[in-house]
Structure 1
Amino acid sequence: MDTAVTANTAFELAPGHARLRDAARSAAAEFGSRATEVRRHLIDHSRMHPELWALFCANGWAGLGLEPDRAGGDGGLLGMAIVLEAFAEQGIVLWMPVLSTAIARAIETVGPQAAAETWTPRVASGATHVGMAATEPHAGHNIFAVETEIRRDGDTFIVNGLKRITSGLDVADRVLVFGRADRRDLGAGYTTVLLDPRAPGVTTTEIPMRFREGVRQFQLEFDCVTVPADALVGSEGRGLATMWPFTHAERALTAAVCTGTAQYSLGRAIAHAGNRTISGTTPIGAEQAISHPLAALHARLTAARMVVYRTAARIDSGIDGDTAASDSNIAKLLAADVAFDAADHAVQVLGATAWDDRDGMIDIYLDARLSRSGPVSNEFTLNHIAHHVLGLPAHAG
C-alpha cells in the first residue's frame, strides 16, 4: 500500500471510512424525526429500539472497533466513532454501544482468551450489552480510592461494596466491576470481574437522573456476591491494566458522541436563525449576537472533530498507553466543551421552542452538560494533561 499522502488528503478520512460515514449518516437520517421515540424506547422497554438496532447490527456496526477489524480496513475505533457521531448528529445518543465497545476492547487487550472468545462475539453481533461499575460515592472518578473488594475465595471471587453511578443495568447482561483485591492489604492491587447484575447478593437501586444519555442510572450494592473464577478479566491484582484500554476507548467514543451532539445543536440553531424573524423581514441570523457565536462554535467543532478522529485512528494504530491516555483526554475535553456550548447557544437561539419537552432539545442540552462531568470530569482530564503532558507537579498524598 502506498502510504504517501498529499496536502489534499493528509487530513481527510480514508475512502473506506468516508463511505462508512456516508452510510451511517444516511441510516441515522432515517431515524432523525423519531429521535425522541428511539430514546424513550430504551427507557421504557429496557432494550434498544428494535428497528434502529436491527439496522445497526445488519451493517456490522456493533462490532466496529473489535477484532478482527481492529487491524485496519474501514472499521476500528475510528469506524465506531464515525458511526456514533453520525447518529448523534440526528439527536440520537447511543450510549450502550460506547460502554460495550470499550469494555470488549479491554477484554480483548488483557484477556483471558476464554473471556474474549465468550463476550467479544456477543458484543460484536449486538446481542449483548455490557455495563461498567467503577465509580463510588465517596471516591467519584478517583478509582485509586475505591473500597469495593473483589477477593479470591478458592475457585471463586467474593464481591463486597457499593458502586454509583452505573449506566444501563436494565439493558446490560453483565457489568464489569472494578475493586480492590484485598481491603486489608492495599498492596494487593485491584481486580476486575464480569458480574451478573441480577445475581444473588446484588441490590440494584435506580438513581433518578432523568435518563441522561437516554439510559437509566443505578447504584449497585454487593453483599458477599459470589462469582466464578472464569468471570475474571485480566489478571488478579492487575485490574488497572483492564481500566486503561477501557478508558481510552470510552473517552474517544464519548468525544465522538459529543461532536455529533454539537453538530446537531448547531444545525438546529442555524436553521432557526436563518428563518426566524422578530421584526421586519430580516432573519435573526443577521444579528452578530446570534451569528458570531455560531461561527465560532463551527470553527471549534471543526477542530475538535479532527482531534477526535486523530485520537481514534492513533489508538487503532497501536500507540502506547501513555499517548492514548493523553490523546483521549484531550479529545474528550475539547468535544465536551463544544457540545455544551453549542447546545447552550442553540437553546438561546431557539427560545421557547427549546423548552418544550416534546421537542427534545432540553434532553440534548442536559446530556451535553453531563458530558463535562462524566464519564470522566473535565477537571480530571485537565489534571491528566497538566501532570502527564505538561509535567507540572501534583499534590502529594
Structure 2
Amino acid sequence: MLLQPKDEEEKLILSTVDQLMEKYNERYWLDKDQKREFPIDFLDDFMRLGLGSILIPEEYGGVGKGVRLASLILYSINLKGGNSYFVHGHYYNTALLSKHAGKRVREKYFKDIANGAKVLSLALTEPEVGSDTTKIKTIAEKVGNNFVIKGHKIFISRVKHTDFMILVARTTPYEKVEKKTDGITLFLVDLREGREGIEMREIRTMSNTNAYEMFIDGLKVPEENVLGEVGKGFYYLLDLLNAERFMIAAEMIGNAEWFVNKAVEYANNRVVFDKQIGSFQGVQFPIAKVYAQLLSLSSYFNEGLRALEEGKDTKTIGNYANVSKYLAAEIAWEAGNVAMDIYGGYGYAVETGIERKLRETRLYKVAPVSQNLVLAYIAHHILGLPKSY
C-alpha cells in the first residue's frame, strides 16, 4: 500500500474498510456496472459501520477526523477494486458542512448524518456555464422565512439516492454584483422532506455514474438552511474544492496501484513462447515507469496531507490539491492503459475488470475539474504566469 495509516486508530478504521471490501469485491462492482445499478447495499453498510461520519464533529456523534482519513478510505476502496465514486461526494460535502454550517443546521441535521443520513450530492454545474461558476443562473429569492429557488443543473451525481443536497444558487444576479465572486449562496436541501419543485432526468454515461439533470422551479428552502453568510458561498466552495481534489487524487492513486498490481500479477503468470511475459523488457518497462511516477506522486500527496493537517494557508493547500489531482488522474489513466496492453484481449474482456476500471478512471481527466483548468491554475498561481481566462 502506497498510502499508509499513521496511527492505530487509522489502522483500525482502514481494517474495517478492508473487511467491507471482502464482502463487496470486484465481482460485485462488475455486476453493478453491467446493470448500471446504484450500489445501495454497499452504501448502507458503509454508513452503518460509521464510515460516513468521519468528518462530522464528535459532539454530534461523528468521528471528528479530517480530509486525510477520508482520503485513505477512498484510496482503500479503489485499491480493493471498488468504486469510491459513490461515497466521495458524501465526504467532501460533509467537509464543507463541518466547516461552514451554522449552529442551527448542526443541531438539526448533524446527528442524522452521523447516524447514516447521506449527503451525496452537490448541485453546482449548469448546462450553459460549465466550470465558470460565477456565471451560474440558478436564482434564489427570499420570500418570508424561505428562499424560493429556480434553475437548471446538470451532471448532479447520486442525487436520486441522497437524503441531503448542497445546492449552489445566486441570491444576487451576476449583473448586480461588484465582484463576480459575490452573490452566490449555498443551501442545504433536506430531500427527505420531499422533492417538490425538482424534476430529474438520468444521464447515461460511459461508466456507472448515476448522474442526473435537474430542473428546479419553486423549490423552497428554509432561511436557516443557508450555509455560512448569504452571498459568500463562492469562497466556501474553494474549501470544498481543495478537499475534493485531495480525495480524487487519493482515489486515483488507489486505481493506479490496482492497475499496477493487476499488470504485475498477469505478467508473472502469463507464459508465451515458453517464457513469462514479465521477463520481456517491453512488458517490464511500462510497468516500472508508471510505478516510479506513482511513487513520486504518493510522496508529494502525503506532503500535501501534512500541510493540510498543519493548517497551512489556503494557497499552499490549493497548490498541493491541484497538482495532486492533475498527476493522479494522468498516472491512473496511464497505468490503466499499461494494464490493458499487458492483458491484451483479456483486458478488453469485461470479466477481468480492467476495462471497467479504465472507464471509471477516465472520468477524472474531465471532472470534477478538467486537466487544462488545473494546468491553468498551476501556470498562474504557482508559476506566476499571466492569467489565461
Partner residue in 1 for 2:240: 246
Indicate whether 1:49 and 2:45 are aligned: no
| C-alpha spacing 1:129/1:395, structure 2 compared with 1 (3 Å) | closer
- SS of corresponding position for 2:264: helix
| C-alpha spacing 1:59/1:42, structure 2 compared with 1 (3 Å) | farther
Q: Distance in 1 between matches of 2:113 and 2:48?
A: 13
Specify which of 68, 71, 91 is matched with residue 101 of structure 1.
Answer: 91
Runs of 4 or more consecutive aligned structure 1 residues displaced over 6 Å after TM superposition? none
| C-alpha spacing 1:41/1:209, structure 2 compared with 1 (3 Å) | closer
1:127 Cα offset (Å): 2.9
Partner residue in 1 for 2:197: 201
Partner residue in 1 for 2:121: 131
Scaled by the length of structure 1, what TM-score is found?
A: 0.87
Question: Conserved in 2, the CA contact under 8 Å of 1:156 and 1:229?
Answer: yes
Q: Which runs of 5+ in 1 are unaligned?
A: 1-10
Q: Which residue identity does 1:255 align to in structure 2? A: A
Question: Conserved in 2, the CA contact under 8 Å of 1:129 and 1:171?
Answer: no
Deviations 1:19-49, CA, capped at 9 Å, x for gaps: 54455445434533434267459953x4532
1:346 Cα offset (Å): 0.8
Q: Which residue identity does 2:135 align to in structure 1? A: A
Q: Distance in 2 between matches of 1:394 and 1:384?
A: 8
1:373 Cα offset (Å): 0.7
Q: Distance in 2 between matches of 1:25 and 1:302?
A: 22
1:75 Cα offset (Å): 4.3
1:358 Cα offset (Å): 3.4
Q: Larger deviation: 148-157 or 293-302?
A: 148-157
- SS of corresponding position for 1:358: helix
Q: Which residue identity does 1:14 align to in structure 2? A: K
Q: Distance in 1 between matches of 2:107 and 2:298?
A: 33
Specify which of 154, 157, 179 is matched with residue 169 of structure 2.
Answer: 179
Specify which of 212, 237, 254 is matched with residue 260 of structure 1.
Answer: 254
| C-alpha spacing 1:128/1:299, structure 2 compared with 1 (3 Å) | same
| Matched residues, number | 378
Question: Conserved in 2, the CA contact under 8 Å of 1:42 and 1:215?
Answer: no
Q: Which residue identity does 2:89 align to in structure 1? A: L
Q: Distance in 2 between matches of 1:355 and 1:41?
A: 14
Specify which of 291, 300, 325 is matched with residue 318 of structure 2.
Answer: 325
Specify which of 128, 132, 138 is matched with residue 142 of structure 1.
Answer: 132
Q: Distance in 1 between matches of 2:159 and 2:349?
A: 29
1:204 Cα offset (Å): 0.7
Q: Which residue identity does 1:152 align to in structure 2? A: K
When the two chains are superposed, the root-mean-square deviation of aligned CA atoms in Å is 2.6
Question: Conserved in 2, the CA contact under 8 Å of 1:151 and 1:157?
Answer: yes
Q: Distance in 1 between matches of 2:297 and 2:73?
A: 16
1:99 Cα offset (Å): 1.0
Question: Conserved in 1, the CA contact under 8 Å of 2:67 and 2:95?
Answer: no
| C-alpha spacing 1:314/1:387, structure 2 compared with 1 (3 Å) | same
1:13 Cα offset (Å): 4.8
Q: Distance in 2 between matches of 1:189 and 1:356?
A: 50
Q: Distance in 2 between matches of 1:353 and 1:300?
A: 25
Percent same amino acid at aligned positions? 22
1:114 Cα offset (Å): 1.8
1:313 Cα offset (Å): 3.6
| C-alpha spacing 1:316/1:92, structure 2 compared with 1 (3 Å) | same
Q: Which residue identity does 2:236 align to in structure 1? A: T
- SS of corresponding position for 1:176: strand
Indicate whether 1:87 and 2:80 are aligned: no
Q: Distance in 2 between matches of 1:360 and 1:230?
A: 46
| C-alpha spacing 1:118/1:309, structure 2 compared with 1 (3 Å) | farther
Deviations 1:254-294, CA, capped at 9 Å, x for gaps: 11111101111111111111111222x21111222211110
Partner residue in 2 for 1:334: 327
| C-alpha spacing 1:340/1:35, structure 2 compared with 1 (3 Å) | farther
Q: Which residue identity does 1:307 align to in structure 2? A: Y
Q: Which runs of 5+ in 2 are unaligned?
A: none
| C-alpha spacing 1:235/1:264, structure 2 compared with 1 (3 Å) | same
Q: Distance in 1 between matches of 2:238 and 2:294?
A: 27
| C-alpha spacing 1:81/1:42, structure 2 compared with 1 (3 Å) | farther
1:117 Cα offset (Å): 3.2
Partner residue in 2 for 1:217: 211
Partner residue in 2 for 1:236: 230
Scaled by the length of structure 2, what TM-score is found?
A: 0.88
Indicate whether 1:385 and 2:378 are aligned: yes
- SS of corresponding position for 1:394: coil
Partner residue in 1 for 2:341: 348
Question: Conserved in 1, the CA contact under 8 Å of 2:96 and 2:240?
Answer: yes
Deviations 1:375-396, CA, capped at 9 Å, x for gaps: 1111121111211122211136
| C-alpha spacing 1:386/1:215, structure 2 compared with 1 (3 Å) | same
- SS of corresponding position for 1:182: coil
Q: Which residue identity does 1:243 align to in structure 2? A: L
